[in-house]
Amino acid sequence: MVNIGIIGMGRIGKVHLQSITYHVKNACVKAVADPFMNEETKEFVRGMDVGKIYGDYKEILADPEIDAVLVCSSTDTHAAVSIEAIQAGKHVFCEKPVDHALDKIQKVADALAAHPQCKFQVGFNRRFDHNFAAVRRAYDQGKIGEAHVLKITSRDPEPPNPAYIKVSGGMFLDMTIHDFDMACFLTDSDVEEVYVQSAVLVDPAIGEQGDVDTAIITMKMANGALAVIDNSRRAVYGYDQRAELFGSKGMAATSNDTLSSVVISDHQGVTGEKPLFFFLERYMESFSEEMRQFVDACQSGGEVPVGIHAGMQAVKIGLAAKKSVEEHRPVKISELD
Ligand SMILES: NC(=O)c1ccc[n+]([C@@H]2O[C@H](COP(=O)([O-])OP(=O)(O)OC[C@H]3O[C@@H](n4cnc5c(N)ncnc54)[C@H](O)[C@@H]3O)[C@@H](O)[C@H]2O)c1
């Protein structure tokens, strides 16, 4: 059994607590820490049979019963908390992004190098989505051949509160970061160069915060494949999450998940269900699967499926995308080194 402490009991901390409690048989959440928990959250945590409820995460790090921690607090705390946890000898699952600054992510990598027994996984949960995992499997099985073109469609159902834009690092480091990781995952390659065309077409308040809400991103992958991501902060028909990998031997394409596959035909036309509403609906199973694989790696001593390299790559691509917007030109990832 792997004993877990969760640091940060907001939206995603609660998702992981539920996933582990109900869907991971070889792990148990023993403690949570969050300085700003209200009574309702504490009640929820107690309802999951968690015995230790702390304000300060350091109590989790000092607890010898805890084998692994999940860092689910706000992004600006991830790197520092992860380093402390590694130094305390805990395995770490860190939510994305590890940080917005490459030097801070490098410090996490350095701490890991000094504590090689510690596992460190980054929360790129979409790799564990059944659709995207099947595309990668087809590629690994040679069914696509050499990867030539990857297309990712990633559109949110509604924009975030404009106040969230600044703290989250903006669209590329908060939302598209999942798509950057997906591009690396589906082509099994790093990115070499990024070029972005972007606009504010959904909400002028997002533009006032200095961010964009619509983008077409083209990328040259290190293995020679070309990739394109199209992003919007608002698709009126729901969360639109699709990918298509085309290669020398064929193509693998996904469609959106829906509540049911029913298609209703009547005198007005033929209609089906909208895509599942947002990430909590669409990706719930992927959150459980990433936890199962993290816990398995902690238990077996094997490799984690998404390590610090992937965490660093995605942020580099995000920073390169921002630079491309600012300077209106293609940006090589090596420029950030
Ligand atoms: N993988 C995904 O799809 C996904 C989805 C949502 C959020 N996230 C990431 O998870 C992180 C949290 O996002 P959220 O939506 O849950 O935010 P949230 O604001 O709902 O929760 C964050 C929680 O962290 C707590 N916190 C802040 N400082 C802390 C500290 N020092 N110690 C302990 N707790 C602390 C806050 O009180 C809050 O309860 C972000 O980095 C976000 O990018 C990832």
pLDDT tens-digit map of 307-323: 999 999 999 999 999 99
Write the residue with the smallest CA distance to atom 18 of ligand 1. Answer: 10
User: Ligand 1, closest atom to CA 9?
Assistant: 39
How close is the Cα of 68 to the center of ligand 1, in Å? 17
> What is the model's pLDDT at position 113?
98
User: Ligand 1, closest atom to CA 12?
Assistant: 16
Q: What is the mean pLDDT of the chain?
A: 97
How close is the Cα of 231 to the center of ligand 1, in Å? 23
- Residue 90's nearest CA partner among 111, 116, 61 is 61
CA 171, chain centre distance (Å): 13
In eight-state DSSP terms, residue 258 is B
For CA atoms 297, 301, 304, 307, give the dihedral sign: positive
> What is the model's pLDDT at position 142?
98
Q: Which residues of 90-107 are buried (b: 16+ CB within 10 A; e: fewer)?
A: bbbbbbbbbbbeeebbeb
Does 319 contact ligand 1 (Cβ within 6 A)?
A: no
Residue 251 scores a pLDDT above 90 = yes
Beta bridge partners of 32: 6, 53
> What is the model's pLDDT at position 192?
98
Does 169 contact ligand 1 (Cβ within 6 A)?
A: no
How close is the Cα of 34 to the center of ligand 1, in Å? 10
Does 123 contact ligand 1 (Cβ within 6 A)?
A: yes
> What is the model's pLDDT at position 298?
98
What digits encode the pLDDT tens for the residues 255-290? 999 999 999 999 999 999 999 999 999 999 999 999
The domains located in the chain, with CATH, are 2-118 (3.40.50.720), 127-285+314-336 (3.30.360.10)
> What is the model's pLDDT at position 42?
97
Residue 176 scores a pLDDT above 90 = yes
What digits encode the pLDDT tens for the residues 131-163? 999 999 999 999 999 999 999 999 999 999 988
How close is the Cα of 319 to the center of ligand 1, in Å? 21
Helix or strand run (H / E) with residue 122: strand 120-122
> What is the model's pLDDT at position 87?
98
> What is the model's pLDDT at position 166?
81
Predicted confidence band of residue 167 (pLDDT cuts 50, 70, 90): confident
Does 96 contact ligand 1 (Cβ within 6 A)?
A: yes
For CA atoms 25, 259, 235, 194, give the dihedral sign: positive
Does 82 contact ligand 1 (Cβ within 6 A)?
A: no
pTM for the full predicted model? 0.96
What digits encode the pLDDT tens for the residues 60-93? 999 999 999 999 999 999 999 999 999 999 999 9
Hey, which of 6, 7, 12 would you mutate to test ligand 1's pocket, going by the most ligand atoms within 8 Å of its Cβ?
12
> What is the model's pLDDT at position 286?
98
Q: What is the mean pLDDT of residues 219-238?
A: 98
Q: What is the CA radius of gyration of the chain?
A: 20
SS3 call for 145: coil
Residue 199 scores a pLDDT above 90 = yes
> For the purposes of burial, counting CB atoms within 10 Å of the CB of 38, is it exposed (0-12), middle (13-18) or buried (19 or more)?
exposed
> What is the model's pLDDT at position 165?
87
CA 42, chain centre distance (Å): 26
For a pLDDT cut of 90, what percent of the chain falls above it?
A: 97
C-alpha 324/C-alpha 167 separation (Å) is 21
How close is the Cα of 58 to the center of ligand 1, in Å? 17
How close is the Cα of 10 to the center of ligand 1, in Å? 5
How close is the Cα of 218 to the center of ligand 1, in Å? 30
Residue 333 scores a pLDDT above 90 = yes
CA 97, chain centre distance (Å): 7
> What is the model's pLDDT at position 163?
86
> What tokens does 168 get?
């989250």
> What is the model's pLDDT at position 160?
93
